[in-house]
Amino acid sequence: MRSKVLTIDLSRYKYEIEDRSDLFDEWIGGVGVGIQLLKEELDPKSDPLSEENVIVFATGPFTPAYPLASKTVALFKSPLTGNLGESHAGGRTATSIANAGYGAIVIKGASKKPVYIVVENDKVHFRDARVLWGIEDSLIVGRIIAEREKGRGIRTVMRIGGGGERYVRYACVTTETYRHFGRLGLGAVFGSKNLKALVVIGRGGSVPADKKSYREVYDKIYRIATESDAMKKYHLIGTAVNVLPLNELRSLPTKNLKSTKFEGAEEISGEAFAAQNLGRRIACNHCPTACIHIAVLREPYEHEKYFYKTIMISYDYELIYALGSMLGISSREGLLKLIHRVEYYALDAISTGVCLAWATEALERGIISEEDTLIRLQFGDHNAYLKAIDYLVKQPTEFYEILAQGVEKASQVYGGDDFALAFGGNEMPGYHTGYGAHIGHLIGLRHSHLDGAGYSIDQKVKDLSPKELVDKLLKEEKWRQILSSLVVCFFARGVYTPQIVVEAFKPLGVEITEDELLKLGEKIYAEKLRLKRKMGFNIKSLRIPKRILETETLHGKLSKEYIDEALRYYGVIVKKLS
């Protein structure tokens, strides 16, 4: 098992490599090991944008042994929520780190001047990035670094754009052009460390403990991934296939969740994108599914006839929700331009969309004015939103400085928290399906739909009591600690069942039972919760935005009593675990 940890100290331009089989043996890898490293390295009370913040990138034992294990977990203190930050990304990051020989990379300190780091197997180079600082377009940053550095095909280029440099608290880190450590502001942490990019070049290999069964198990997983229906959704239309059914179920958040039925849903559906715009598919490294759907946007020059620029833009459900229905955008072209602008600055699309949706409603209600926004924000007007995204990065007024800190912060300053759609400080993902979704956003340890997948419970089960629902959410979240310790893509959760995970471990020389796995999932969950508590997480301070109670869901209107009861029950569990 791969157990080396590379620690890079940006304050001293030093690095060291340590074997931490103690951690990898006990906590698998990924989030399991990452939490332990963060506990060792990070003062939980530190300021997320100070040099004291620490970033852990952790991979797991299934990378690169098996397909679909193409994800890296990033852990850090989030400048958006002031609490634990966790974000996963695909691309080539995980395989490059693993092939370079590392289980995890830890980055601490802060550079005095802008730098980027190149990890080349067992060497680390600190490169001057003063000339790159100020380049706002994350695509250009990636291209320049790719041309300067070696390692074509076996490297990852994780970089920030203008968003991270300007400390937008929901700036992301982009890798391989289209994949992101999207949520909770890792980009701003890079920015605060004067770190423009982290390049990892890895070429390496290892010998399986059992050579014969390794190839057999590999083939079995590969067959399930390519021949069964386990990956079908992602293999065909992609996550954007969710738009129409969610709209049909009255669950598609629309115009700052004033509604869940969007008149423009057909226009921005996965089906419409596939038929009209889909230009290419690409894959994360070591994944046959190629779920990355890329649209072609052909745009004429403003003042010259017969000149066109052709831009390739990656789309997914969450982007279509956040920058589409949530902002009332029904023009696919307009929506693609918004997605591209967010990609350009390397911002989190969900948070950006939710912040702008709130600002639009706040302007409608007169709690802010056009003096604050500099432009008339109106649902459906993509040109205004394009400008507003520029302003979130350039921050020409105090209003944009504040909105760049998230919708929670903005509503604390200006009011309008009833319709400020954040949970635990993190902007809401695209599901207004019912109690499962929102209670999941509240209690999930990263306040994400991916913690307990409540949106899925809502669509499958009816009439659960608050207690039953919380139990279900926690059960899923605990199992997902295993998936994100391995680290496999959540889209492959149908492939990596507990039974397959146990089987896949064997050729790697690890004997573990399904029961032991489930118990370990619970343990990792508890460790994460305890760290979150040390960072100040308090269930009593969770805010329930009133808007979610006003707008009908798939299960009708939600009652506050139900949510309160669920939170009370969860509070007891938290107490027990801490």
Partner 1 sequence: MVKVAKRLVIKDVEKCVGCGICMYACARKNAKKPEIGMDSSGILAVSLSGFERGATVIFCRACTEPPCIQVCPTNALKPKKGGGVLLREDECIACENCVDACTIGAIFRRRNGKPAVCIHCGYCAKYCPHGVLGFEEVKV
Nearest residue (CB) to partner 1, 159 versus 183: 159
Distances (CA, A) of 444 to 439, 529, 532, 537, 564: 8, 10, 11, 12, 15
The residue written with tokens 């590969």 in the block is 222
The CA–CA distances, whole Å, from 123 to 6, 9, 101, 120, 509 equal 10, 14, 11, 5, 29
Show the binding pattern over residues 307-326: x = contacts partner 1 (CB under 8 A), - = does not: ----xx--------------
Yes or no: say if 569 and 470 are a contact pair by the CB < 8 Å rule: yes
Q: Which is nearer to partner 1, 316 or 361 (CB)?
A: 316
Residue among 59, 83, 95, 194 that touches partner 1 (CB under 8 A): 95
Sign for the pseudo-dihedral over CA of 395, 396, 397, 399: negative
**Which helix or strand (DSSP H or E) is residue 479 part of?**
helix 466-486
Cβ proximity to partner 1: between 199 and 437 the closer is: 199
Residues 452, 370: Cα–Cα separation, whole Å? 39
**Region at 542 (left for phi over 0; alpha for psi -120 to 50; beta for the rest):** beta
What string marks each residue from 272 to 301 as x (binds partner 1 by CB under 8 A) or -?
--------xxxxxxxxx-x-x-x-------
Q: Which is nearer to partner 1, 79 or 507 (CB)?
A: 507
Residue 424 CB burial class (10 angstroms; 0-12, 13-18, ≥19): buried
Q: Rank residues 100 and 322 by Cβ distance to partner 1 and give the closer one.
A: 100
Q: Which of 136, 149, 165, 176 binds partner 1 (CB under 8 A)?
A: 176
User: Does 224 help bind partner 1 (rule: CB under 8 A)?
Assistant: no
Q: Which is nearer to partner 1, 139 or 342 (CB)?
A: 139
Size of the site for partner 1 (CB under 8 A): 46
| 147 contacts partner 1 (rule: CB under 8 A) | yes
Q: With left for phi above 0 and alpha for psi between -120 and 50, is residue 56 left, alpha or beta?
A: beta
CA distance 172 to 403: 16
Output the smallest distance, CB 342 to partner 1, in A: 15
**How far is Cα 82 from Cα 577, in angstroms, rounded to an integer?**
22
Q: Any contact of residue 533 with partner 1 (CB under 8 A)? A: no
CB of 312 to partner 1, least distance (A): 4
Q: Which of 152, 309, 540, 575 binds partner 1 (CB under 8 A)?
A: 152
Burial of 2 (0-12, 13-18, 19+ CB in 10 A): buried
Pick from 45, 125, 143, 232 the residue near partner 1 by CB under 8 A: 143
User: Does residue 104 interact with partner 1 by CB under 8 A?
Assistant: no
Residue ranges in contact with partner 1 by CB under 8 A: 64-65, 67, 92, 95, 98-99, 121, 139, 142-143, 146-147, 152-154, 176-178, 203-208, 211-212, 214-215, 218, 222, 226, 280-288, 290, 292, 294, 311-312
